[in-house]
Amino acid sequence: MFKESMGFSGPCLACVCLLTVVGCHTAPRPVPIDGGAAADNSFLGEYQSASRRALAETPLAILNVDDELVVIRHGVVTSRHSVSSDLYDALKDVAHVLMAAWLSAWHSGSSPDNYEMERLESQIRELDTGLDASAIPADQRACQRRLLDRTTALLSMMSRSQGIDDVELNEWARSVKKDIMTNVTGAARAQLDAINRQMTSILSSLDEQESKTFLVVVCGVHQARKGNVQMQYFTALLGPEASSNDRRLIFAESVEDFSGAMRTLAVHQLDKAISESFFGSPSRMQRDLLEDAASDLIPKMVLPRH
């Protein structure tokens, strides 16, 4: 299964530990070393093959990707557990139409796109109509209607002849902050409850050894890496040492799909083996191999003035 899904291509973190970079800043036209391209291709091919073996040798991992917890045993998917939440999705929908209006207003001048305005107004009406039948509890719907009403007000401000300036837009954004943060808390609770429910089920099926050693890969975007809600959950579950040097808890930054999560897991496992073999430390490749050399060299450089 994983041979087709891995799709390795391009250089990886381990390349630097097997290549020696030779250059001269005064040479106008550097000449590639004979056989270099063949050596690079050979390395990349062997890295892909070894990565597949690394996956096959991993007893158990859980990938948090695409609103699922995917259980992987020796490179093969053995179960999938949905962590989607109707409440989370509904709160996100309200947030998205609000943010779409803000984005439309931001630095847009005094000539709003009439089609875009009509589309947003239609979406606001549709969301308002659907609130009573949504997963949002009755006691939280007044908050949603306030946000939708304020979004309609923003569209009205945009449609004025003078449009809306940055000061007015910032004032509007801060006027909805309290209700937004109420929704943020509700969304976080819904997401955490869904993950915890499925992890409770998964853990009940593991033996003692699996419970102590399974790996977790959490997929997320760069901006949300610090404080990522799933990373916080799994850190609490596994203990803070689990995320230290990606020992058991790995963040797959800017990875959005299953194949990317599998690549991250494979690279993690293979680089750990490389680190142990070459450096006697399983965590050495969790940081830039050139870090120590750069820390010594940069203070001695004459940097350009700016």
pLDDT at 25 over 80: no
Ranking 2-6, 81-85, 108-112, 199-203 by mean pLDDT, the lowest is 2-6
Question: Per the structure block, which two tokens stand in for 47?
Answer: 């890295």
Distance of CA 68 to the CA centre of its chain: 14
Give the pLDDT mean for 108-129.
89
Give the pLDDT mean for 22-32.
60
Give the pLDDT mean for 5-15.
46
**What is the rounded (10 degree) CA torsion for 218, 81, 184, 151?**
110
pLDDT band at residue 11 under the 50/70/90 scheme = very low
Question: Contact, 250 vs 265, CB < 8 A?
Answer: yes
Give the pLDDT mean for 4-28.
46
pLDDT at 20 over 60: no
Residue 81 dihedral angles phi and psi, to the nearest 5°: -135, 115
pLDDT at 7 over 70: no
pLDDT band at residue 52 under the 50/70/90 scheme = very high
Give the pLDDT confidence of 164-199 residue by residue, as tens digits: 999 999 999 999 999 999 999 999 999 999 999 999
Residue-level pLDDT at 242: 84
pLDDT at 257 over 70: yes
> Which residues are CB-neighbours of 140 under 8 A, at least 6 positions away?
182, 183, 186
- Annotate 53-67 with three-state secondary structure: HHHHCCCCEEEEECC
DSSP string, 25-44: TT-SS--PPTTHHHHHHHHH
Domains of the chain: 2-59+214-300 (no CATH), 86-187 (1.20.120)
pLDDT at 135 over 70: yes
